Amino acid sequence: MPLPDTMFCAQQIHIPPELPDILKQFTKAAIRTQPADVLQWSAGYFSALSRGDPLPVKDRIEMPMATQKTDTGLTQGLLKVLHKQCSHKEYVELADLEQKWKNLCLPVEKFRALLQLDPCENKIEEIKFLALGCSMLGGSLNTAMKHLCEILTADPEGGPARIPFETFSYVYRYLSGLDWDIPASDTESYLSSLKDSTRGEGRPSGRGDAGEEPPL
Amino acid sequence: MQTSCGGRRQAAPGAGEVAVLGGTREALARPWHVTELGAWVPRVCDRRWTKQPRAAPEERGLGERRQHRPRKATLKSGAGDRRHLGGRSQKPEVPWRTGLPPKPASRNFPEVPLPAGTPGCWATGAGGAGGLSAAPSKPSVAPTSCPGDFPSRPLPFLPPLLASRNPCPWHYVHLFGSHDTFVATCFEAKLHRKRSGLTLGVACTLTDRASPAMDTYTYTSRPRALPCRRRRYRDDQMQRAEEPMCYGNIMYDRRVIRGNTYALQTVPLPGQPDPAEIQRQQEAKRRALAKKRAQEQLRPRTPEPVEGRKHVDVQTELYLEEIADRIIEVDMECQTDAFLDKPPTPLFIPAKTGKDVATQILEGELFDFDLEVKPMLEVLVGKTIEQSLLEVMEEEELANLRAHQRAREELRHVELAEVQRLEERERRHREEKERRKQQQWQVVHKHNETAQKIAAQAFAQRYLADLLPSVFSSLRDGGYFYDPVERDIEVGFLPWLMNEVDKTMECSMVGRTVVDMLIREVVGKRLSLYERKEDRHSSLKPEDGLSGPGGMRDPPVGYEFQDHGASQAQRPLPDTDSLQRTPYDARYMERVSSQDRKLMEEEDEQTNEEVLQE
């Protein structure tokens, strides 16, 4: 209720009952996410909250590493956040994605650079974007795949990060396709071998298989 | 009075006075003997009077004891008296009184003045002498006053100290050798009192006279009303002296001891009773009495009757009063107001204290939002941050733990997988080894078997090598291989041959035998002939010898011929054979006959000898 016109004592100040809870959640999110620009991120947070979208919050606090800060600012956690935000649809609008990117206080140039790896118009497949982000994270295809597994996995953290083989193969093909060095035959052979080794489960795991021997 | 009594008492030590301690129980249970102090109270059935007085039970006061002990000597004397008395009167209650004032026997003797030395009831602490104070009119009652009654009476002596006690008309008079008997000393039992020397006898006779009248029932103690010194009627002050006896309810008599008697206070008798105390008590009594009297005087009374009139007591109550069980009932009513609800308590408004003061408040003076909200905000924000930090850290920690846990699990899984793999490999190796070993075993086994077989075969061969010839030889020896012709000859021909030979031999034998017979016959005939001839030719003896043998020769020839004929007779039988054998036979026969001849000759010689011998 609006404040009465004349208030006489402190007890008359009314605090909305939901306020503390909102504040707490916000604070916790902020602590976890550790955005570089709190204001920007808060704007993104509350707008997502008001829209009902997934929040740009990291699930786990990620200690910012010094190198990361200077390089891209993109971390696996942030990619995960992006993925979480965009995973409900297959194609994401670039504008939307950019906004989200900005909300995470990531440099926009990187975004542009990312998109240049695989130019597209308005929309991009979320998976592909993720893959590109993963490739930006790590140097090699292996690490990229590893990151991808860890991002995409449904397994609890610490366990084997397993993803469906189709996803893996798709992404692998995509990335290897982008990279001119790798011949397609190698890709296929690797994939087939991987498939045989995981024939029981059909789920390559980020730990085991990425630790094994892709041709790179 | 006390003193007088005491003096009197002392003067008459012979007053028989026995204090009997009566336990209340007994007193109530058994009819008490009321007697004047110093009176003998014989018990009818009690022969124990004759005995020495018993020692008082401990419940009795010292006084009693004191009384008893010194009295022993005297009691003895009294016992004799008593004996007499007791024997005489079989009545239970023959109150013997000593020293009673000469008075007609009346039932009520309110103030039997206790003799001075009356000990009174120690229980009630009634001083014998003191008790007598209430009855001043009987100074003459003294145990000593009737010396004639009991010439030798047991000394009653009751310690004077007891006399100071409250008067107790009921004395516990100890009966010699009897149970405690409650003796009311103030009882007059006047029946016998006044008699002087003959009192005893009169009493006895009286009682004796009385007794046969009511012989149906005997009392241990005759029921009688007790004298009571208490005034019975209101304006009775003047009549105290006249009234001989007062009745009282024993239940409300304060002289009756209630409760146990064994815990009563001991009588503090040693020493003289304090005269001052006694005086005080007596004075107090006098004062009370005077007060009562004064009040009585003040009480409004009916005026004196007019001249010529007299007050008469009139019964104003109903002469006849209906006695009915029905209780008179009267209905009464009373009306009260209907109850009202308790009204609500009015609000308590305390009285106003203090002063009213007014002041003017302008906008914004009282309340500044920013200021007021600051602490709130502090708390809000601070707490929020703090809490969220804590929570985040907690969650982080938990997540880390879980991550670690899962990582460890992963590792463990991998290790387990590795272990399993190794185990599997191990197992396979082991199985392989086992299999190889088995195979090897089998090979060796087979090898052994084969060697054994070979050896066995070689040995068997060698063993059986000469088996065959030996077998054959043995068989041949056994005759299993035979030449059939030979066998046939052996089996068939030769036996026949032998048979034939036998037959032939037999024939020859038979022939010979026949020949022998012939010869014999011939010889016999010749002999007979010769004998005949000899008879005829006794001279021809030398020729006999020749002819004899010659003759002998002829019969054998004859015999031979006969034999030959026999044999020839037999010959047609085996004719076919004999045809072949005839040359044989002939030669044979010749041979045989030669032989026969030799035989015959021998026989002849023998027979001749025989004959000759004959």
Angle at B583 (CA atoms; ends B579, B587), nearest 5 degrees: 145
Encode pLDDT of A130-160 as tens digits: 777 777 777 777 777 777 777 777 666 666 6
What's the rounded mean pLDDT across residues B416-443? 96
Cβ-Cβ contacts under 8 Å for B81 (sequence gap 6 or more): B16, B40, B150, B151, B152, B153
Q: Enumerate the residues of chain A whose CB falls inside 8 A of the CB of residue B404.
A: 158
Report the C-alpha dihedral over residues B211, B217, B219, B222, rounded to 10 degrees.
-70
Q: What is the pLDDT of residues A65-104, one digit of tens each?
A: 544 444 556 777 777 777 777 777 777 777 777 777 777 7
Residue A20 in contact with partner chain B when CB distance is under 8 A: yes
Contact A68, A105 (CB under 8 A): no
Residue B11: the pLDDT is 40
Q: Say what the pLDDT of residue B76 is.
A: 43
What pLDDT does B477 receive? 86
Contact assessment for residue A97 and residue A122, using Cβ atoms and an 8 Å cutoff: no
At residue B592, the pLDDT reads 58
Which of the two residues, B344 and B229, has the higher pLDDT score? B344
Is residue B87 predicted with pLDDT exceeding 60?
A: no
Q: Give me the residue from A7, A25, A156 closest to B369, CB to CB.
A: A7
Q: Band the pLDDT of B272: cuts 50, 70, 90.
A: low
Is residue B91 predicted with pLDDT exceeding 60? no
Please tell me whether residue B34 adopts helix, strand or coil conformation. strand
Share of chain B above pLDDT 90, in %: 14
Cα torsion A138, A144, A147, A151: sign:
positive
* ∠ Cα A52 A55 A58 (to 5°): 160
A&B contacts, CB < 8 Å: 73
pLDDT at B300: 81
Mean pLDDT (whole number) for B442-469: 92
DSSP state of B466: T
Exposure string over A166-189, b if 16+ CB within 10 A, otherwise e: ebbbebbebbbeeeeebeeeebee
Pairing of strands B170-171, B183-184: antiparallel
Whole-number pLDDT of residue B440 = 97
Q: Which phi and psi (to 5°) does residue B63 adopt? A: -55, -45
Question: Please, which pLDDT band fits residue B123 given cuts at 50, 70 and 90?
Answer: very low
- Residue among B64, B75, B104, B62 nearest B15 (CA): B75
Which range, A193-202, B91-100, B280-289, has the best average confidence (pLDDT)? B280-289
What gap in Å lies between CA B553 and CA A149, rounded to an integer?
Answer: 163
B170 phi/psi in degrees, rounded to 5: -90, 115
Using a CB-CB cut-off of 8 Å, the residues of chain A touching B390 are: none
Nearest CA of chain B to the CA of A19: how many Å? 9
Name the packing angle between helices A76-86 and A94-103 (round to 10°).
140
Token pair recorded at residue A204: 């390559």
Whole-number pLDDT of residue A205: 57
**Mean pLDDT for chain B overall:** 66
Per-residue confidence at B63, pLDDT binned at 50, 70, 90? very low
Question: Within an 8 Å CB–CB cutoff, is residue B417 touching chain A?
Answer: no
- Point out the residue among A10, A59, A158 whose CB comes nearest to the CB of B372: A10
Q: What band does B107 get if pLDDT is binned at 50, 70 and 90?
A: very low
**Is the Cβ of A24 closer than 8 Å to some Cβ of chain B?**
yes
Cβ neighbours for A76, distance < 8 A, ≥ 6 positions apart: A62, A137, A147, A150, A151
Map residue B33 onto helix, strand or coil: strand
Q: Strands A91-93 and B33-34: what pairing?
A: unpaired
Q: Which of A12, A19, A60 sits opposite B396 (nearest CB)?
A: A60
Q: How far is B453 from chain A (nearest CA, A)?
A: 56
- What is the arithmetic mean of pLDDT over B118-147? 42
> Mean pLDDT, chain A, as a whole number?
73
Query: Across the interface, do A156 and B396 touch by the CB < 8 Å criterion?
Result: no
pLDDT at B276 over 70: yes
CB B5 within 8 A of CB B88: no
Q: Does A27 touch chain B (CB under 8 A)?
A: yes
The β-bridge partners of A92 are A124
What crossing angle do the helices spanning A108-117 and A126-137 adopt, rounded to 10°? 110
Nearest CA in chain B to A15: B376
Which stretch of B200-214, B294-308, B404-418 has the lowest confidence by average pLDDT?
B200-214
pLDDT tier, B383 (very low <50, low <70, confident <90, very high otherwise): confident
Q: State yes or no: pLDDT of B7 exceeds 50.
A: no
3-state secondary structure chain A: CCCCCCCCCHHHCCCCCCHHHHHHHHHHHHHHHCCCCHHHHHHHHHHHHHHCCCCCCCCCCCCCCHHHHHCCCCCHHHHHHHHHHHCCCCEEEHHHHHHHHHHCCCCHHHHHHHHHHCCCCCEEEHHHHHHHHHHHHCCCHHHHHHHHHHHHCCCCCCCCCECCHHHHHHHHHHHHHHCCCCCHHHHHHHHHHHHHHCCCCCCCECCHHHHCCCCC
> Confidence class of residue B412 from pLDDT cuts 50, 70 and 90?
very high
ipTM over 0.85: no
Position B423 confidence tier, pLDDT thresholds 50, 70, 90: very high
Sign of CA dihedral A64, A67, A69, A75: negative
Strands across the sheet containing B183-184: B33-34, B183-184, B170-171
Q: Which B residues in the span 368-397 are in contact with A, Cβ-Cβ below 8 Å?
A: 369, 372-373, 375-376, 380-381, 383-385, 387-389, 391-392, 396
The distance of B419 to chain A (nearest Cα, Å) reads: 17
Q: Which residues of A touch B387 (CB under 8 A)?
A: 24
Distance CA(A105)–CA(A41), nearest Å, equals: 7
Put simply, whether A65 touches B (Cβ < 8 Å) is no
Mean pLDDT of B107-119: 44
Round to whole Å and give the CA distance between B481 and B485. Answer: 12
Q: Does position B66 have pLDDT exceeding 60, yes or no?
A: no
Higher pLDDT, B587 or B287: B287
Assess contact for B200 and B96: CB atoms under 8 A. yes
Token output for B428: 């396979």
Weakest mean pLDDT among B65-79, B339-353, B564-578: B65-79
Average pLDDT score over residue span B30-54: 46
**Which carries the bigger pLDDT value, residue B495 or residue A198?**
B495
> CA of B405: which chain A residue's CA is closest?
A158
- B-chain residues near A9 (CB < 8 A): 366-367, 372
Q: Which of A100-104, B112-116, B585-589 has the highest mean pLDDT?
A: A100-104
Query: How is residue B6 written in tokens?
Result: 């005491």
Chain A residues in contact with B373 by the CB 8 A cut-off are 10, 13
Res. B244: pLDDT tops 70: no
Whether residue B219 contacts residue B93, with contact meaning beta carbons closer than 8 Å, is answered with yes
| Higher local confidence (pLDDT), A100 or B498 | B498
- pLDDT at B189 exceeding the cut of 90: no
Q: Which residues of A touch B405 (CB under 8 A)?
A: 158
Q: Which of B112-116, B234-238, B304-308, B393-397 has the highest mean pLDDT?
A: B393-397
Q: Which residue in chain B has the smallest CA separation from A23?
A: B384
Q: Is A160 on the interface with B (CB under 8 A)?
A: yes
Dihedral sign computed on CA atoms, order B116, B119, B125, B126 = negative
Collect all residues with Cβ–Cβ distance below 8 Å to B549 and sequence separation of at least 6. B601, B604
Find out whether B523 and B552 touch, Cβ atoms under 8 Å. Answer: yes
| Chain B residues touching A32 at Cβ < 8 A | 392, 396
Q: Choose between B594 and B1: higher pLDDT.
A: B594
Q: Does A9 touch chain B (CB under 8 A)?
A: yes
How distant is the Cα of A139 from the closest Cα of chain B, in angstroms? 24
| B343 shares contact with chain A (CB less than 8 Å) | no
Range with lowest mean pLDDT among A22-36, B257-271, B362-376? B257-271
CB contact under 8 A, A156 and B384: no
Chain B: closest CA distance from residue A55 (Å): 16
Q: What integer is the mean pLDDT of B594-612?
A: 65
> Is a pLDDT exceeding 80 seen at residue B205?
no
pLDDT of residue B533: 81
The residue of chain A nearest to residue B362, with distances taken between CA atoms, is: A6
**Cβ proximity of B35 and B20 under 8 Å:** no
pLDDT at B200: 44
Give the pLDDT of residue B612.
64
The vertex-B154 CA angle with B151 and B155, nearest 5°, equals 110
Contact (CB<8Å) A61/B380:
no
Nearest to A13 among B376, B387, B405 (CB): B376
Q: Identify the pLDDT of residue B418.
A: 95
Given this model, what pLDDT does residue B79 score? 42
